Amino acid sequence: MPSLRSSALAIVLLATAGLARAEGPTIEHSAIKCIVVGKYRKMPAKFAPPEVAQPRVYFRPEGIPSWYYVEMKPEAPLGHVGVLPKPTKKLVGQHIEYYVEAASKDFDTGRTPEYEPIVVAKDSDCSNDPVIALYSKQPPSAVFPSVPEGFAVGGGLAVGTTAAIVGGGVVAGGAAVLVAKGEDEPEPIPPPVTQPPVTSPPVTNPPVTQPPGSPADIACQADPRQGRAPLQVKFGAQASGGNGVFDYVWTFGDGDGSTQINPSHTYASPGVYEARVVATSGSLALPCSRTITVLASAFQLRANVAGSGTGTISGDGIACPGDCSEQYEPGASVTLTAAATGGSTFAGWSGDCSGTGPCQVTMSADRTVTATFNPPPTLFPLNVTLAGTGSGTVSGSGIACPGTCSQSYPPGTAVSLTAAPGASTFAGWGGDCAAAAGLTCNLLMNGPRNVTATFNAPLTFRLTLTVVGQAGGAGRVNVNPSVFQNCSSAPPPGNVCTADYSPGEPIVLTAFTATGFFSGYSGDCAGTNPVCNLIMSQDRNVGALFDQLTQPPAGTASISSAFDVAGARGQMMFNGVMLPAPEPGLMALAVTPAAGENRLEAQIVAAGKPGTWRFDLSGVPPLERGSLRVLSGEVVSVGPDSVAFRVSGRTGERIGVAFTAR
């Protein structure tokens, strides 16, 4: 069955950024999909105009009929922000309903639709939330009328002791607040002691007179709450409290109403309507409302394929033959493309489109378009294209490319093409020969054909060697075979030597110390062994470090850091003392171990790509054999005096080791 295509009108009505009713402020707010346990969630919104009265976030846990709210305060650049109390673990998996509401200076109310984020245990459970998580370190200053069950705030919050104005109703200082089910404003319960009222805008809702000690509540429903005109909606309401006998008065927002408990009403025109019911029992009046969104009727677009040739029509939900009709919003712009197949040619459009280009129609009424295709011509063209970094030829059946790379053939002609790579390598066929294996491609010319032959230059892999000498250390690395034989050290960032090799060629790297000592390799030769054997099955990168003119003085030691996390920045601490920031590749760190346990801890402070981070403690003379252990991090390898970690590169990632010194 054809799917319904959305127009700009539907997008405006149903977008995540909710729009308030026309007479109130416009509210820009991105719907929250998840709320994390134990965190104070910020709920930001921007109002137009920005000067609003009583900006609030109303919320309630799943299954709870009463609404609660927190006040919103200006916070640049977010606009206004309301902070929710933190949900506890008992709410995990449940939905929290909420909406944002504010009034203009003339006290016309605007509000967003209701949203239903789910409570999750941790941020990683909320991957479908497009809104950047914003949390507050401070709890809300107050929750009205009290903190609902399942939520908590630091230090607790007294229930029913805060004066509040809820949805236009007035509550005196010290009053409790009752919030009705549905979308209506909450109603106050008069306090036992008369106090001066809180100043509020004029109240247009029916007043609530609540008999002392008799709880009152109302729930209302609308099904469906959204659809196309004409839209029939079934309403229902149920009130409790008072003397138990209620009269119901419905207004549907389009000028019609009803006094039935469960009326049915049909909306004839598109728009956003607020359906409202007031249940009265004596002097008790309970309001409840639901928002109904009525979309415009859709228009039908039908596509037809005609002519003795073959072809397709596609675009904006149409894939004809097959799916040749679709419904669209009034005013929607639809673009269709005709494509000939099997050697046919596209003759042009008819109906609500003309010409041979893309068909563009505006859906202001039902539309019908026809694409006509003519049969294939007498001859079919074959075009050959050479590609790649190498050179070669393609020949056969009138083709000698480069040179003659195009030819035409009668329908049904069998054509055989042969690729000759010469000194290059043949990488394969493409286009209409993509399924061919080897140097030969056989084609049947029952339509136009396009063929690509790719030739590549001989393949080599590159070794990049960086040799660093620092703090008085110097040396060289012999590479056999290589064009440079020896690569000598240089101060940071070091001396870079390169050589190219055939795939699979073995090479040997040997480090020789001139002054100081060889600290080790990083990259594809990571380790402290001065001899490294490599197979050139891919590009290789190796770093070599020579460091320190003499061995560390008594009481000091050297720890080697091999930091291979591209683009990242890290930091290291030894026994709580900050060490120099790690540099890419190898670097030596002078430390003074304490007798007993010592801790070397590190973390990523600026994100980068995944890689490795290796610590070598062979330069710690007092290291007690077998005492090295991992504190945190994902271990790649561990030895008596070295540990290599796999690092994801995300900010805040921690690794660490501990060891005992004699």
Flag whether pLDDT at 164 surpasses 50. Answer: no
Decide if pLDDT at 131 tops 80. no
Residue 605 carries which side chain, given as an amino acid letter?
A: V
Q: Alpha carbon of 89 to those of 38, 133, 134, 355, 655: distances in Å? A: 8, 19, 19, 64, 29
Q: How far apart are CA 16 and CA 31, in angstroms?
A: 6
Q: Closest Cα to residue 26, out of 145, 109, 119, 110? A: 110
User: For the whole model, what pTM was predicted?
Assistant: 0.28
Q: Where are the beta strands (DSSP E) in 481-516?
A: 486-488, 495-501, 505-515
Tokens of 86: 């933190």
- Topology of 557-661 in CATH? Chondroitinase Ac; Chain A, domain 3 (2.60.220)
Query: Is pLDDT of 63 > 90?
Result: no
pLDDT in tens, 181-230: 333 333 333 333 333 333 333 333 343 343 434 478 888 999 999 888 88
Cα(66)–Cα(61) distance, integer angstroms: 9
CB 417 within 8 A of CB 485: no
| 117 vs 377, higher pLDDT | 117
Which CATH architecture is the domain 8-159 placed in?
Sandwich (2.60)
Among the residue ranges 168-182, 221-235, 439-453, the one predicted with the least confidence is 168-182
**DSSP per position, 590-623:** EE-PPSEEEEEEEEEEE---SEEEEEEEEE-TTB
Contact 590, 556 (CB under 8 A): yes
217-295 has the same fold as 8-159: yes
Distance CA 378, CA 43 (A): 69
Token pair of 69, please? 């709210």
**pLDDT computed for residue 23 by the predictor:** 66
Cis status of the peptide bond prior to 49, with omega within 30 of 0? yes
Q: Quote the CA–CA distance of 57 and 151 in Å, as a whole number.
A: 15
| Residue that the structure tokens 């000690």 belong to | 213
Structure tokens at 352: 């609500």
Q: pLDDT at position 551, please?
A: 53
**Domain boundaries of the chain, sorted by first residue:** 8-159, 217-295, 299-374, 380-456, 461-538, 557-661
DSSP conformation class of 123 = G
DSSP-derived 3-state class of residue 13: helix
Ramachandran angles phi, psi of 110, nearest 5°: -120, 150
Task: Work out the average pLDDT over 39-68.
Answer: 91
Half-sphere exposure of 481 (CA within 13 A, CB side): 6
Q: Does domain 217-295 have CATH number 3.40.50.300?
A: no
Phi, psi for residue 647 in degrees, rounded to 5: -120, 130
More confident residue, 601 or 241: 601
| pLDDT above 90: residue 621 | no
Calpha distance 491→546 (Å, rounded): 10
- Given this structure, which CATH class describes domain 461-538? mainly beta
